[in-house]
Amino acid sequence: MDAVSSGYQQEPHQWRLRSLSAGAKMWCGSTSGFMGAFLFAYFYLLALDPNHSWKIGKNVNPSGGLGVAIMAVFVLSGLLLWLGSRRPADEITTGVVAIVLAVVGIALQFVDYGVLGFGPYRGGYASVFYGWTAVFTLGALGGIYWMETSVAALWRARKNGFADTDEELLRVGLQSCALWWSYYVALGVLMYVVLYLV
Amino acid sequence: MTATANRVPAQSPARQRGLLGFNMLTGIILGVVGWWVFYLLGGLIQGYTNHGFSQTGQNDVQIMLGYLGGVIGFLGGLGFLNYPIQRMMGYPPNIPDHEVEEPGLGKYFRLTTDHKVVSQQYFVGIAFFFFVGGLNAMLIRTELLSPTTHVFGAQQYLTLVGVHGSMMMGMMTSGVLGPFANWLVPLMIGSRRMAFPRMESLTFWLLMAAGVVLITTVFFGGFQTGWTGYEPLANQGTAGYDAYLGFFGLVSISMTLLGLNLAVTIATMRAPGMTWSRLPIFCWSVVATAALMVLAAPMLTATLLMGISDRTLYTAFFDPGLGGSAYLWQNLFWVFGHPEVYVLAIPGFGIVLEILPVFARKPLWGYKIAVSGMLGVAIFSFFVWQHHLFVSGMNADLRPFYMLSTEIISLPTGFTFLAFMATLWRGRIRLTVPMLFCLGWAFNFLFGGISGVFNSDTPSDVTTHGSFFVMAHFHYTIMGGLLFSVMAAMYYWGPKMFGYKLNERLGKIHFWVMFLAFNSTFGPLFAVGFLGMPRRVVTYATNLTGLNDWVSVSAYVLGLSLLLFLFNMVYSWMYKRIPAEDNPWHSRSIEFQLPTPVPAQDFDEIPVFSGDPYPYGEALAPAGAEPATAGAY
Amino acid sequence: MAKRSLLVLSVALATLVGIAAYLFLYLANVPGSARAAQTSSGVNLYLATVPAAAANDPHPTWVSYYVTNKQDTNWQHKTTFVVPANSLVHVTVYQYDGASGLRNPFISQASGTVGGTFTLNGKTMNAIDPANASHVFALPQLGISVPLAGVASNAKDQCPNAPCTLSQAHMTITFTIKTGAAGLYRWQCFVPCAAGYIDGFGGPMQSIGYMDGYLKVV
Ligand code: HEM
Ligand SMILES: [Cu+2]
Ligand SMILES: [Cu+2]
């Protein structure tokens, strides 16, 4: 291999930007693998139905209405963040609203746990239901952290008139976050459809 | 190229530097504190476990929380928690993503973002846990000297097997990407750092926490499932199994992030001129491996979370009485597990093909074939997992499919061998220590692959499954394959990484002892397996005593050969300390054009690449572009 | 140089100490063995089974076997029983635990004992009601299996945990087995008696020293 010096002391600015968005895309891949395991568990146990215990007892059905409501709140959050991250003027407002919506979604999920009327031991379905919604909620907490840091960084930089900060980097950061978050929400839609509506 | 060191004087922010600052010691102290705090808090939540706490006296909730607290404390003590707190308040990252040159040993015990220091940390950390795993292997062989139990009890034996297997599989998945890819990739592609340097450090410390978690299993009675953690034994297992879950959980997270970081770095941070078709073959192997890690490891995380929630939250994923299925674990584990075994194989391909041209003085033959072989293996590995379940009572119609898909994997694997052989063909071969290990790799891995075909043939797998034959198979691929390539890498890059030469004569002795002892240990195990000795059973038929004793003695020699290597490192790097030359092997690869030791900045300036990555035997490149040391050998 | 040697030495020393601790505190920490008492007509082995081990045991809630004596006064937590080769072993079990029932009724039959029978509270029999099974003493390699009936759930003065005395509610089971060649034979219980574990098969059922052990024929 032949190599000469480029004369660039600093690494190309593009690198940082591209790493962020490439990282977010790959993280989408990891998230799919993670959620895929629960999807697999759902259909595996449904098909195998060990001990005829897919659902033990009556009323092992969550309320479809609450499921749709949770799903709607998350979808709204994802959409808002996605659209807002492309409009510098609105990015902070939409970001904050997206975060609030995600918190509401999580809160609703807990409300759902409260009124569910069945425990995780009530069969294969109940196990997948609890396991999957719980990890989804955990992941959503992670999403909130990511959104919060992206928005907070932009907010603080904006307050200082972007002095000493890389405005483009912060924006790409928010966009990467939005990319993952909307993808995550889409996976969530799949989950809510399978768990609440099918 | 010009690459003089840019030695910026150390200007250490005091916050990070003192004995009581954020470092490993603080991490350990806070880790212990975190364990106790969470453990005691967990003690308050009694009775809500799957196992009926009052009857079993086993509170898995408490133990899992303890591990969680311990890991949080450990990471906090290292300074990882400062970062999210600052970030949530909107401040820029307070941990720099580039380290400056700093003398002293302190940097090795801290959160650091110098990719070379992280790789050295990985090297020592993994070596330590490898030693622990190896020690267990010696004890396993000691117990197997006699057909009945004579040194340890049956349970202790199973724990030995489980800790050995888990430790090796968990640690060695990062065994190349941790120490070598972290060091090499930023040099080879000219990026001077990883895409996410803080994450790079996190992967290392997570792995260390994982290793400690696994060892703590002995305080809770050990676990009996072996490294695959099969249900229903697992869910019935005593508290020691929680350590298994915690260990692999941390490993899987570390693995995902390590792969993600490397994949992003190679995808987005290649210096000008470093096109995909000029990417060194080692980097390609990292790409293929990283893809597997990014996609497959999270599946393991999810599976382990199901296992944890079965034991703590009263779900029933794996409890057939309540609608779960033990086979769900078996399937999910291997959906991850087979890609995982290629995570252990592909980096070896990369190392060997990277080193081979240097000592054959020929360009790498079939660069594109080799690349497609590695990518092919990576893709196929997602479609073969049921070959681990041939005798599980799976749907008989699925058997031919998985049999064929498994055998098809041999094709892309064959590409690597093709490139290997054709590169050697009419080369000017120099039998240096790294080269010897490369040749040893080829010999061993061939047997691993061929025995793999016996396993993938359903009719023959019915007899080999669960026997020592399978054991021999994967030790040929992993120890004979991966570990030999790691040794090649150690002798090849080690002096460059650590700055001092390794003793060549000791290296050759090490190779021959290790090569012969390895084959003498695992070769007979194929026979032992055919003769019907099952894995993971402490006793065996008395007529197998002779073979087993032979194997045990060989295993001790194998262990000694690794101690010889340890001795070589201590002796050469701590006592002799002969500085390594910049380019001892006359390599044309870029990392050898840099001074030894490589400066903290790597390059003063981002390099620009041109030409073939393996120009051996070609005419000299235009003046000025070619380092003086690397003549047309 | 000296500093470096010191470093190497201390690391090596720490490693050795770690290994030694691992070996002796965990690995070689195997439950002890007890020798059966010799008599003119073979050896006598006195065992006891309890619903829970002694309060100071590492697992005070687990069901367990104990070694004891004829008067049931000398309780030892050991499950490796040393007996002579080619001789008769008269086993007496003082059974203090309640019934947990069998999933596989086959195990409620006796097999492999001298005469194919055992006595329950003095009565000779060759099987019990599967629902009454509390534990089983089985040596699969020798084809021996003896069911141990449980104490009635309404019995007075039940023993909560080891050590128990003969004045408390119990069943007495006796049987005789004949040993063959010297060797190490695994014995275990087959009743899913590990309360609280999935399917009753965790904890004590998979731990030597509780519902598993060895018959060491010497
Ligand atoms: C030509 C390539 C290969 C084929 C056809 C193949 C085939 C198989 C099959 C069919 C099994 C299941 C055997 C059984 O349990 O009965 C197996 C087990 C295994 N293989 Fe391979 N294999 C190949 C290469 C590798 C490589 C490259 C590695 C790792 C570097 C590897 C590691 C393992 C491991 C770890 C197991 C056993 C896991 C366990 O049960 O604990 N194999 N292999
Ligand atoms: Cu496989
Ligand atoms: Cu029992």
pLDDT score at B20: 65
Q: Are C109 and C134 in contact (CB under 8 A)?
A: no
Between CA C158 and CA C161, with CA C160 as vertex, the angle to 5 degrees is 130
Model confidence at C40, in pLDDT bands (50, 70, 90)?
confident
Q: Looking at residues A114-135, what average pLDDT do you find? A: 93
**Which residue of chain A has the CA closest to B382?**
A33
Amino acid letter, residue A193:
V
Nearest ligand, measured from the Cα of C63: 3
Give the pLDDT confidence of B594-621 residue by residue, as tens digits. 998 888 888 888 889 988 888 887 655 4
- What DSSP letter does each residue of B145-176 carry, written as one string? TSSS--SS-HHHHHHHHHHHHHHHHHHHTTTT
H or E element in which residue B627 lies: none
- Highest mean pLDDT range out of B55-69, B281-295, B576-590? B281-295
Residue B475 beta carbon below 6 angstroms from any ligand 1 atom? no
How is residue B364 written in tokens? 């790498």
**Beta carbon pairs, B and C, within 8 Å:** 91
Contact A120 B603 (CB under 8 A): no
Q: Are A82 and A91 in contact (CB under 8 A)?
A: no
pLDDT score at B140: 95
Model confidence, pTM:
0.93
pLDDT score at B16: 46
Q: Looking at residues B289-294, what average pLDDT do you find? A: 96
Q: Looking at residues B489-513, what average pLDDT do you find? A: 95
Contact B152 C19 (CB under 8 A): no
Looking at A33-142, which runs of residues are DSSP E strands?
none
Burial of A8: CB neighbours in 10 Å, binned 0-12, 13-18, 19+: middle
Q: How far B323 CA lies from chain C's nearest CA (Å)?
A: 13
Is the pLDDT confidence value at C201 over 90? no
What domains lie within chain B, and their CATH numbers? 17-100 (no CATH), 117-610 (1.20.210.10)
Residue B429 zone, left/alpha/beta (φ > 0; ψ -120 to 50; rest): beta
Taking the C-alpha atoms of residue B249 and residue B302, their distance in angstroms, rounded to an integer, is 9
What domains lie within chain A, and their CATH numbers? 17-197 (1.20.120.80)
Between CA B132 and CA B141, with CA B137 as vertex, the angle to 5 degrees is 150
Between CA B236 and CA B244, with CA B238 as vertex, the angle to 5 degrees is 95
Residue with the larger pLDDT of the pair B206 and B149: B206
Q: Looking at residues B72-99, what average pLDDT do you find? A: 86
Give the pLDDT confidence of B324-333 residue by residue, as tens digits. 999 999 999 9
Q: How far C57 CA lies from chain B's nearest CA (Å)?
A: 11
Nearest atom in ligand 1 to B465's CA? 16
Question: Which of B87, B90, B92 lies nearest to residue A155, judging by beta carbons?
Answer: B90
Give the pLDDT confidence of B412-462 residue by residue, as tens digits. 989 999 999 999 998 899 999 999 999 999 999 999 999 999 999 999 999
Amino acid letter, residue C60:
P
pLDDT score at B157: 93
Contact B235 C183 (CB under 8 A): no
Is the pLDDT confidence value at B18 over 70? no
CB contact residues (below 8 A), chain A span 150-169, against chain B = 152-157, 165
Residue B362 beta carbon below 6 angstroms from any ligand 1 atom? no
Non-local (6+) Cβ contacts of C54 within 8 A are C60, C75, C77, C161, C162, C163
Q: Which of B48, B53, B54, B58 to mutate to test the interface with C (most CBs of C within 10 A)?
A: B58
How is residue A111 written in tokens? 């409300």
Is the pLDDT confidence value at A80 over 60? yes
Chain A hits for B325, Cβ within 8 Å:
44-45, 48, 50, 124
Residues recorded for chain B: 633
Is the pLDDT confidence value at C192 over 60? yes
How is residue C111 written in tokens? 């097999």
Taking the C-alpha atoms of residue B125 and residue B145, their distance in angstroms, rounded to an integer, is 31
Between CA B554 and CA B558, with CA B555 as vertex, the angle to 5 degrees is 90
The two most distant CA atoms of chain A are separated, in Å, by 73
Contact C195 B149 (CB under 8 A): no
pLDDT score at B51: 55
Give the pLDDT confidence of A141-153 residue by residue, as tens digits. 999 999 999 999 9
- Highest mean pLDDT range out of A8-17, A64-73, B81-90? A64-73
Sign of the dihedral through C-alpha C67, C71, C74, C75: positive
Q: Taking the CB of residue B568, how many other CB atoms lie within 10 A of it?
A: 23
- What DSSP letter does each residue of B304-373 carry, written as one string? HHHHHHHHHT---TT-GGGT--HHHHHHHHHHHHHHHHHHTTHHHHHHHHHHHHHHHTSPPTTHHHHHHH
Give the pLDDT confidence of C94-139 residue by residue, as tens digits. 999 998 888 888 999 999 999 999 999 999 999 999 999 999 999 9
Buried b (16+ CB within 10 A) or exposed e, B48-72: ebbbbbebbbbbbbbbbbbbbbbbb
Amino acid letter, residue B592:
F
Residue B477 beta carbon below 6 angstroms from any ligand 1 atom? yes
- Whether the CB of A31 is below 8 Å from some CB of chain B: the reply is yes
- Whether the CB of A125 is below 8 Å from some CB of chain B: the reply is yes
| Neighbouring-strand partners of residue B147 | none
Buried b (16+ CB within 10 A) or exposed e, B218-255: bebbbbbbbbbbebbbbbbbbbbbbbbbbbbbbbbbbb
DSSP state of B500: B
Q: Which of B49, B51, B322, B563 to mutate to test the interface with C (most CBs of C within 10 A)?
A: B51
Taking the C-alpha atoms of residue B415 and residue C27, their distance in angstroms, rounded to an integer, is 45
Give the pLDDT confidence of A35-52 residue by residue, as tens digits. 999 999 999 999 999 999
Contact B604 A130 (CB under 8 A): no
Q: Are C162 and C52 in contact (CB under 8 A)?
A: yes
**Which residue of chain C has the CA closest to B152?**
C28
Q: Comparing C-alpha atoms, which of B420, B232, B311 is closest to residue B59?
A: B311
Give the pLDDT confidence of B347-363 residue by residue, as tens digits. 999 999 999 999 999 99
Residue B629 beta carbon below 6 angstroms from any ligand 1 atom? no
What φ, ψ does residue B89 adopt, rounded to 5°? -90, 5
Taking the C-alpha atoms of residue C151 and residue C171, their distance in angstroms, rounded to an integer, is 6
Q: Please, which chains are in contact with C (at least 3 CB pairs closer than 8 A)?
A: B
Is the pLDDT confidence value at B2 over 80? no
Question: Which of B89, B268, B314 lies nearest to residue A120, judging by beta carbons?
Answer: B314
Nearest ligand, measured from the Cα of B414: 1
**Which residue of chain A has the CA closest to B318?**
A124
R_g over Cα of chain A: 21
**Which residue of chain B has the CA closest to A44?**
B328
Q: Which of B94, B202, B315 to mutate to test the interface with A (most CBs of A within 10 A)?
A: B315
pLDDT score at B312: 87
- Three-state secondary structure string covering B18-65: CCCCCCHHHHHHHHHHHHHHHHHHHHHCCCCCCCCHHHHCCCHHHHHH
**Beta carbon pairs, A and B, within 8 Å:** 223
- The chain-wide mean pLDDT, for chain B, equals 89
